[in-house]
Every structure is written in C-alpha cells, then in structure tokens.
Amino acid sequence: MNLVSTMAARFFALSLLVSAVSSPIFASPVKDASVPLRVGIMTDADSMPIMLARDEGLFEKEGVAVELMVFSNPQERDAALQAGKIDGAVSDLLAAAFFTAGGFDVKITSLTDGRYGIAASSSSGVASIADLQGKKIGLSTNTIIQYTVDAQLKKAGIPSDSYEPVSIPRMPVRMEMLLNGQIDAASLPEPLLAAAVAQGATLLSTTDTIGVDAGIMLFLTKTLDTRLEDIQKFYRAYTAAAQRINADPDAYREYLVEKASFPLAVKDAYQFVRYRSPALPDEAQIEQAFAWLKERNLLSIDLKASDLIDGRGIN
C-alpha cells in the first residue's frame, strides 16, 4: 500500500471515530475570537497545566475563552482534530508526522512536559533496563509508545530488535497485565506509570531522565492564522499554571485525583514533572522520529522538521 492510500485509510478510519465522540459542544470552528478555543487533551501529565489554567481561571484572566475536550484515547482525539471539531490538541511527534504526510495542515506549536517510562513486573526478574533483552514488553505498536521504548533502549545501548513487543493498545489493560505478571515489562505514560510503580512494579527508565521529548502541542494552521492572539493568550495562561505547579507541586496532590482524574494510587507517590516555559522541539528530535517511522515503512515521503513547527503562538 502506498503512502497516499495508507494515509487515506488512516484518515477515513479517524473520521468514523468522530461519531463516537461528537457532542453538542463540538461546533465547527469559526473565525470569531469570542468563540471558545477548543483544545483536545487526555488526563495525563502533559495536560495538567492546561486543566489547572481552566480550573483556576487563568484563561479568563488572560481574556481568552478555552473549552477543553477530554478524550480517552489518541484515536478519538485525532479524529476530532481531523474533522475540525477541535482547534488544537496535546499530541505527539508521530501523530504530527502522520497528519502532515497525509496532507492535513497542522503545526507543532510547542513541546509539552509529560513522561513515558518502562516498568518491570515484580515477578519478571528484571531489575534494570539491560535485563530487557529477550523479554516481553507490553506497548502499542507503531506509536509514540513504541518509539519511546526504542529510544530508551537505544540510550542504554540495547538494540531495538532485542526484545519481544506485545501489542496491548488499551493502556489500563497493559498496566493490569504488567501487575499480574503476564508480561515482563510495559511502557506507560503518566499517570499510569506512577500507578503501576505504586502497586509494586519496578521503574526502569523514563523519557524525561534521558532527554527524549515526544509530547507536543499542535494547532490547525487555519486556527493559527485566524486566532493567533487567542493562542498566545492560551500559552500565557498555560505558563502561569505551569509556574504554580513548579513552585509547590505538593499543593496539587489533591488536585491530581479530585480534578485531573489521576488514579488514587498516584496521589502520594506521583513525582511531578518540572514544566518548562513553552518552546519548540529541537529539530534533531523531530528528524529522529521521522527516521524511526521510515525504518518501519510508516513514512515513505521526505518531511522537513522545519515544515512542521510554528513558533508564533509562544512568541
């Protein structure tokens, strides 16, 4: 299957998912700046400053109306974005590459600060990342999850073909299989990573400790062109929220479970990421993601990192 047909099939499938997530608040975006800026998020570490900016009135303080759409999985989020039901989303480098290669006009506007990690089952005998060779690692194949697994193993000098990937797309199921010893290890994002460790799994590696950036914020290019001031206000509120978390993380432990819907198991055990000021991803990291996709025949055209990024919103 060539790239055009592959991407067409991908976007057709995404379109079918829209009906599952559509609701009356999913009105088509318009140019009127008084209409809320609709942003897709998931309940994860990347999105926490955005949720806090909403809940502590920081968007209103900046004079921008923002409506957050919470999705349970990336497929529904991507479907809503592709159908124009949201203006932007917390996403990842691979999704941005797929969108761009398929002719869908989005731009990466900043990094986000989440955390992906690998945890081992307590019954696996795995004590370090070096022990993963030949072991079964639960993940979702050909996604940002597998990309971060390979990046963490590469950093440790372990070939990406030296482990057995076990496809478990549903992350809660993946965590349960890990805790039950049905797989040796699993790749999980926060807060599931912290929840697994709190329940006995062994943390082996995380993306933030090895300097791998995978999470991003992206917006439709047409939204950037027509609502740039609103996006700039969005980022100012985001920055203010991030600074509040950084200044006193423990003050937000109740917020984690009461407002951000993190699992109760992470309330006391969660290690907050340190949120950076909004910045564009390093082009070298984007190129590394492109190379990984090409190695797996998931990207058959040449993309330039510079074509995917747009820093107007954070300037």
pLDDT, tens digit, 9 for 90 and up, residues 95-110: 999 999 999 999 999 9
| CA–CA–CA angle 265, 271, 277 (5° rounding) | 130
- Global pTM? 0.86
Query: Is the fold of 3-114+213-314 the same as that of 116-210?
Result: yes
* Half-sphere exposure (Cβ direction) of 193: Cα atoms closer than 13 Å: 24
Q: How confident is the model at residue 1 (pLDDT cuts 50, 70, 90)?
A: very low
% the chain with pLDDT above 90: 80
Write down the residue that tokens 């067409």 correspond to: 8
Burial class (CB in 10 A: 0-12, 13-18, 19+), 279: exposed
CA distances from 269 to 28, 189, 205 (A): 41, 15, 16
pLDDT over threshold 80, residue 8: no
Cβ pair 263, 195 in contact under 8 A: yes
Does 165 score more than 70 pLDDT? Answer: yes
Q: Helix 93-101 to helix 283-295 angle, to the nearest 10 degrees?
A: 70
Nearest alpha carbon to residue 98 among 117, 75, 72: 75
Within 95-163, strands assigned E span: 106-111, 116-120, 136-139
Superfamily (CATH) of domain 3-114+213-314: Periplasmic binding protein-like II (3.40.190.10)
> What is the per-residue pLDDT for 209?
86
How confident is the model over 77-136, as pLDDT tens digits?
999 999 999 999 999 999 999 999 999 999 999 999 999 999 999 999 999 999 999 999
Q: What is the pLDDT of residues 212-271, one digit of tens each?
A: 998 999 999 999 999 999 999 999 999 999 999 999 999 999 999 998 989 898 899 899
Q: Say whether pLDDT at 305 is over 80.
A: yes
pLDDT tens per residue across span 26-69 = 333 334 546 999 999 999 999 999 999 999 999 999 999 999 99
pLDDT at 109: 98
Report yes or no: 7 and 102 within 8 Å, Cβ to Cβ: yes
Report pLDDT for 5: 38
> What pLDDT digit, counting tens, does each position of 12-31 carry?
344 433 333 333 333 333 34
Among candidate residues 186, 207, 184, the one with its CA nearest the CA of residue 196? 186
Spatial distance between the Cα atoms of 179 and 92, rounded to a whole number of angstroms: 27
Q: Residue 229: which H helix or E strand, with range?
A: helix 228-247
Instruction: Give residue limits of the domains in the chain.
Output: 3-114+213-314, 116-210
Q: Please state, rounded to an integer, the average pLDDT across all residues of the chain.
A: 89
Tokens of 114: 């989440």
Does residue 287 or residue 72 have the better pLDDT?
287
In Å, what is the CA distance from 45 to each residue of 49, 60, 173, 193, 297? 8, 22, 19, 11, 30
Helix (H, G, I), strand (E, B) or coil at 112: coil
pLDDT at 32: 52
Does the CA dihedral 43-48-53-59 come out positive or negative?
negative
**66-70 and 37-41: which strand pairing?**
parallel
Residue 213 CB: number of other CB atoms within 10 A?
22
- Tell the CATH topology of 116-210: D-Maltodextrin-Binding Protein; domain 2 (3.40.190)
Residue 178: predicted pLDDT: 98
